[in-house]
């Protein structure tokens, strides 16, 4: 349509240019309201209508493209909103998982500390029990050594007492023997005096005189008076 309009317009211009030349040569040119002008008008109106239709089509296409772009943008926005919501949900889940992991780690740390405290307490109790057993064993050994020392001291005391008693008995026996010997010596002297007095000292010996008097001989054992 645009080509036809251009051709008609070109023909009209050529004819308009040819009209003055024909008038100068005595040729009468037709009036502008002829067939060509009407055809040109129709072509121009058709061209305008076609341009308007083309513009309407372009506007409709642009509207469809805008609508499609808007729908696509809305879809992208909705997708991005869903993605953001999903990312937020994932971030919230990750945060909760992290908090749970932190709480589990804290619980595990507290459990480890409690186990270490229990182990330390049990070790301290075992050490205290071992020290108590060692102290009791040392006390038992000390008591046993004290009993043995006391028994040995008592035995030594008994031995000393027995030795003292034996020495005391020996001393008493010695004193008694000495007294008896002194008494016999005194008797012997008395007998000798008596023999000298009666004048028979040459007939009787001191032993015979002791025998006559009923006294024991000096060599005889004097019976114990206990």
- Angle formed by the axes of helices 35-198 and 2-24, to 10°? 150
Residue 94, pLDDT score: 93
| Overall residue count recorded for the chain in this entry | 226
Residue 27, pLDDT score: 42
Number of domains in the chain: 1
125 part of a folded domain: no
Residue 225, pLDDT score: 47
90 part of a folded domain: no
Residue 22, pLDDT score: 47
Cα angle 158, 159, 164 (rounded to 5 degrees) comes to 95
205 part of a folded domain: yes
Would the pTM count as exceeding 0.75?
no
Which residues, given as ranges, of the chain have pLDDT below 50?
Answer: 22-33, 201, 222, 225-226
Q: How far is CA 151 from the centre of its chain?
A: 55
181 part of a folded domain: yes
139 part of a folded domain: no
Q: CB burial class (10 A; 0-12, 13-18, 19+) of residue 184?
A: middle
198 part of a folded domain: yes
Contact 43, 18 (CB under 8 A): no
108 part of a folded domain: no
The range of the structural domain enclosing residue 208 comes to: 177-213
185 part of a folded domain: yes
Contact 149, 183 (CB under 8 A): no
Q: What is the DSSP letter of 205?
A: -
């Amino acid at each position: 349509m645009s080509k036809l309009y251009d051709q008609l317009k070109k023909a009209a211009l050529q004819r308009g240019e040819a009209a003055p030349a024909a008038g100068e040569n005595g040729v009468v040119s037709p009036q502008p309201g002829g067939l060509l002008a009407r055809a040109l008008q129709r072509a121009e109106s058709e061209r305008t209508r076609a341009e308007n239709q083309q513009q309407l089509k372009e506007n409709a296409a642009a509207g469809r493209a805008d609508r499609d772009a808007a729908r696509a943008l809305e879809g992208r926005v909705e997708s991005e909103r869903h993605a953001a919501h999903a990312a937020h949900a994932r971030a919230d889940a990750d945060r909760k998982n992290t908090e749970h992991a932190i709480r589990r780690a804290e619980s595990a740390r507290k459990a480890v500390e409690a186990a270490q405290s229990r182990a330390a307490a049990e070790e301290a109790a075992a050490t205290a029990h071992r020290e108590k057993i060692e102290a009791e064993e040392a006390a038992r050994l000390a008591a046993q050594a004290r009993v043995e020392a006391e028994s040995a001291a008592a035995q030594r005391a008994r031995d000393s007492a027995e030795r003292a008693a034996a020495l005391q008995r020996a001393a008493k026996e010695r004193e008694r023997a000495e007294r008896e010997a002194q008494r016999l010596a005194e008797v012997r002297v008395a007998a000798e005096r008596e023999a000298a007095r009666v004048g028979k000292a040459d007939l009787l010996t001191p032993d015979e005189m002791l025998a006559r008097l009923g006294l024991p001989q000096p060599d005889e054992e004097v019976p114990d008076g206990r």
